[in-house]
Amino acid sequence: MNMPADQMELREEEIRAHYEAALGYLDGFDHAPRIAKAKEAASVRERSPGIGTRRRFRSTTPGLVGRSTARPEGVRLIERIEAADGGDPLMSPVQAAMLHGLRRAIAISLAVGEAYGEATGLKALKKDNLAGALPRSRAAEFAELLAAEALVVLHVFANATAFLLASHRGEVSVELGAVEEVLTDNAALALSGALWELDQDIAAFADSEAKLVAVVIAFAEQLMEKVARRAENAPRLGPFTGARYRVEADGLTIAGFAPARSSRGTALTMTFKKPNEVVGNHIAKYQAMKLAKMLMAYDFERKMNPFAELGGFIFTFMGDGMPGTGKTTLIQMMAGLINDYCQEAGYPFRYQNLSTESIDSYQGKSAQNAKAFINNVLDPNVIGFGTIDDIDQLAGKRGDRQASAGQLEITAVLMESFAGANTVVRGNCTFGMFSNYPEAVDDALRQRAGARFLVDGPQTREDYIDILALLLGKNHSIPLGDHKLYAAQEIKRAVAESFERHNRPRERALERVYERVSEELGKLDTIAELGTYLKAIQEADPRFTGRAIKNITDAVKVRAMDFELPDEWMEEPELFLFKPYDEKKAMIEELRRPITVEMVIQEINRYADSEFRYAEKSDEAAIKAMVRDFRRQEEARRRYLEEKGG
């Protein structure tokens, strides 16, 4: 495989040359803590009388051992990890994976440290120092290079650990607190300090295999973050930050102090649905099918999607409808399409759902869970699809006294992630929020949904015949009768009819606004008249803000992309998917349609209908709550007077 021009291959033999030293760190060494305090004695009990401890590892680099008057603590990570399973005498596959991952991560970090030493002249300075020939004039430079090497090795170790063990990450998580034993005298001492603290954390928190995995990954992520902050003001790091190292066997790219993301997709166990198994919901189904193909246009080299650059990419959307109208089926259909397309192209696909299990009673933990969900789906090395089903239960509405602190934390994370100052839409992923009660979702969060899918299920007589025939299956001999099966589900005709229904508003409150503006201005066919209509909507509903206008214009741009990428482009990736970015962009531009007045009016009505629908339900729910409060107050007053009178 050819390396990009800005990447250097970290050869396998260079990594394996450090395996023995890496095993030594895991087998046993002494470390006297300088900054952190021991959580408990780090010594591991002998497995049985008469069996000695494993050999201790000491650095083979003379002159680089740090001094400390603190009592040394023996660190034997192999034994520590073997003991983290409730006493099973045999090592499990998970424990073996942890040890293999740590050994390889240490070896990779030492190999990168060696490359840094050669690139900066540190290797030669170490030899001079060992021989007592280091010029005094270069002592400061030597110290700075040693500190820089320590930061490089620490970050690469943590980065590689988190990357290599990512596939073992489960639902269990732990709160470790900040990593403290970050030493920068030299690389050997730095690794010793980090592994000593990891050993402490495993002893304190890992009482099961699931927690063992959670502790190791959480420690690696915390260490990465702390080292990256320390590196911001450290000198002599240019040779590392300006280089990119590629470990081909693992698919790992080391690019300075940026965390590497695992490009492995997730194995899906859900039951996929075909488009013809989604009855009704024509616009939602059509846009979901389009979006699945749009995602496939993502360019992994450029880390950008032409649809995101040209406009018309749906980054966030909300699907709402009554229970049983097909929201779960829509998720299964879209995930199935993306999964099939990715398998055909050989792209990694990651699907993840943010569930109510993410709400935690510990302060800050719910936000951490939500952020992990966002980051996993945003990973630019995969095609991602994230769903938040029943978002009204998961994300709290600000001002709602019934909302828990955890729900409000999730709301804050989703708002910042979907339309925050640091939000970058690359076009490799999309997030779908689904709810039976969208009026219960915080207004600001709901408006961060760039597209609205009304999931209203079967509507016509033909829809009901189709869904009955579909669900009955084939184990019957009942005649179909006078009906052309699934003809009503023919997507292009059904979608055209669905869009045409939005030439006029469907919600009565919005219809009154539309009629009043139309009477004053006549046909709305200029930007000024359309803007007047938008202002009238805002006067009727103050929640209809500038963000709503952006969402409408984004939806119009999606309509300008109102074409399906040909199926053969998905089936034969060389025709489109594997072409260079600029060529893909040009092919899309050729298919783009001009924006029309009808598109704009339909999208204004579609979006405003949803907002008026949500507002009406929200107001009705608030009125009912107030009525209940008044009734409770009246009953309390009556009982009080009775008791007082008695």
62: left (phi over 0), alpha (psi -120 to 50) or beta: beta
- Contact status, residue 488 vs residue 494, Cβ threshold 8 Å: yes
Instruction: Assess if residue 556 is contained within a domain.
Output: yes
Domain identity same for 242 and 311: no
Domain extent, residue 165, equals: 8-33+71-255
Domain identity same for 543 and 438: yes
Instruction: Assess if residue 48 is contained within a domain.
Output: no
Domain identity same for 192 and 145: yes
Specify the pTM.
Answer: 0.55
Instruction: Assess if residue 167 is contained within a domain.
Output: yes
Q: Beta strands of 516-629 (E only): which ranges? A: none
Domain identity same for 313 and 409: yes
* CATH number (domain holding residue 323): 3.40.50.300
Give start and end residues of each alpha helix (H) in 443-507.
443-446, 461-472, 491-500
Instruction: Assess if residue 49 is contained within a domain.
Output: no
Burial 135-165 (b: 16+ CB within 10 A, else e): eeeeeebbebbbbbbbbbbbbbbbbbbbbbb
Instruction: Assess if residue 124 is contained within a domain.
Output: yes
Pick the last residue of a domain from 191, 222, 255. Answer: 255
Domain identity same for 488 and 519: yes
Domain identity same for 299 and 239: no
**H or E segment and range at residue 384:** strand 383-388
Give the pLDDT of residue 295. Answer: 93
Instruction: Assess if residue 577 is contained within a domain.
Output: yes
Domain identity same for 174 and 318: no
Q: Which of 337, 429, 431, 432 is nearest to 382 (CA)?
A: 429
Instruction: Assess if residue 644 is contained within a domain.
Output: no
- Contact status, residue 604 vs residue 612, Cβ threshold 8 Å: no
Domain identity same for 208 and 283: no
Domain identity same for 240 and 326: no
Give the pLDDT of residue 442. Answer: 85
* Count of structural domains within the chain: 2
Give the whole-angstrom CA distance, residue 338 versus residue 626.
Answer: 45
Domain identity same for 188 and 239: yes
Tokens for 295, please give them: 């995602």
Domain identity same for 147 and 291: no
Give the whole-angstrom CA distance, residue 239 versus residue 148.
Answer: 10
Tokens for 392, please give them: 């009204």
* DSSP output for 201-247: HHHHH-SSHHHHHHHHHHHHHHHHHHHHHHHTT-SS-HHHHT-EEEE
Give the pLDDT of residue 68. Answer: 41
Instruction: Assess if residue 57 is contained within a domain.
Output: no
Domain identity same for 503 and 576: yes
Q: Which parts of the chain register pLDDT below 70?
A: 1-6, 40-73, 170-171, 261-281, 325, 361, 457, 488-498, 562, 564, 614-622, 646
Tokens for 125, please give them: 């300075």
